[in-house]
Every structure is written in structure tokens, then in C-alpha cells.
């Protein structure tokens, strides 16, 4: 799994926990549902501003959305 896919999985999980739809999240981020869908699938990475906006909307720290670095 790529870092973008891990972050996307975290966003999906946190949104689902709060019963927030993609449509609601897309509106809050000021982007189309299609654009958000590409990010939610991990096909396009969330940029820092988008990830911050997601965290603010979900009322969680941004760190809850980041992927953990792998330990080598």
C-alpha cells in the first residue's frame, strides 16, 4: 500500500466513523465529489492544505490521518 493509499484509508475510516459522506466532505473542501473520490481511493494524494482541511472538518488532529513510517 502506498502512503497516499494509507492516508486515503485513514480519511475514509475517520469520515465513516462520523457518518460523513463523500458529498459532504467534498463540499466542505470546496472540490467536486469526483476529485475527492480520486483522493479517497489513493489515486491522487491529498496535499497538505487538503489534509488539514479534512482534519479540521472531522475535528481531529492531522496526525490521525498520516500514515506511520515503516520501521526498517
Closest CA to 32 of 42, 22, 46, 45: 22
Do the domain assignments include residue 63?
Answer: no
* 3-class state of residue 59 by DSSP: coil
Do the domain assignments include residue 72?
Answer: no
Number of structural domains found in the chain: 1
Q: 16 lies in which domain range?
A: 3-58
Do the domain assignments include residue 64?
Answer: no
Do the domain assignments include residue 24?
Answer: yes
Confidence at residue 1, expressed as pLDDT on a 0 to 100 scale: 84
> What is the H or E stretch that residue 54 is in?
helix 48-58
Confidence at residue 58, expressed as pLDDT on a 0 to 100 scale: 95
Q: Using one digit for the tens of pLDDT, what is the confidence trace for 30-68?
A: 999 999 999 999 999 999 999 999 999 999 999 989 866
Q: pLDDT-derived band of residue 72, with 50, 70 and 90 as boundaries?
A: very low
Amino acid at each position: 500500500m502506498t502512503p497516499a493509499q494509507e492516508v486515503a484509508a485513514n480519511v475514509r475510516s475517520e469520515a465513516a466513523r462520523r457518518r460523513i459522506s463523500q458529498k459532504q466532505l467534498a463540499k466542505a473542501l470546496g472540490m467536486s465529489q469526483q476529485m475527492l473520490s480520486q483522493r479517497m481511493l489513493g489515486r491522487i494524494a491529498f496535499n497538505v492544505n487538503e489534509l488539514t482541511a479534512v482534519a479540521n472538518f472531522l475535528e481531529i488532529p492531522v496526525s490521525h490521518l498520516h500514515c506511520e513510517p515503516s520501521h526498517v
